Amino acid sequence: MSKRVLIVDDAAFMRMMIKDILTKNGYDVVGEAGDGQEAVEQYKEHTPDLVTMDITMPEKDGISALKDIRQYDPNAKIIMCSAMGQQAMVIDAIQAGAKDFIVKPFQADRVLDAISKTLS
């Protein structure tokens, strides 16, 4: 059975890029969210195997959403997506329970590598 993924990013084209990489490689994208609040709701609705979470978003940022999801499900597997120069935020995210992080612009092999490591 293919692994179910929730993609969270406030930029639709970023979600599309990740979705494209994932669907081509046999993953099932069960939901997409454009902000942290939506991410938490979608997580509860779909209980995906993995979440790719953008750090910087309106309403609720990725780190707050990460904490909320981990509070709801301590076993949640979340990979943070960051732009260059967000190292401090990435460290916060890892301390808050993120499993890994990928840097934009996305490289397909790095995305797939992070996901397969996190799910194994």
Residue 33: what residue type?
A: A
The pLDDT score that the predictor gives to residue 59 is: 87
How far is it, in rounded angstroms, from Cα 114 to Cα 22? 12
**All domains of the chain in start order, with CATH:** 4-119 (3.40.50.2300)
The pLDDT score that the predictor gives to residue 87 is: 82
* Better-scored residue on pLDDT, 9 or 82: 9
Per residue in 45-74, pLDDT (tens digit) is 999 999 999 999 988 999 999 999 999 999
Three-class SS state of 109: helix
Q: What is the pTM of this model?
A: 0.94
Phi, psi of 72, rounded to the nearest 5 degrees: -70, -40
CB-CB contact of 102 with 84 (8 Å): no
CB-CB contact of 11 with 3 (8 Å): no
Per residue in 84-109, pLDDT (tens digit) is 777 888 899 999 999 999 998 889 99
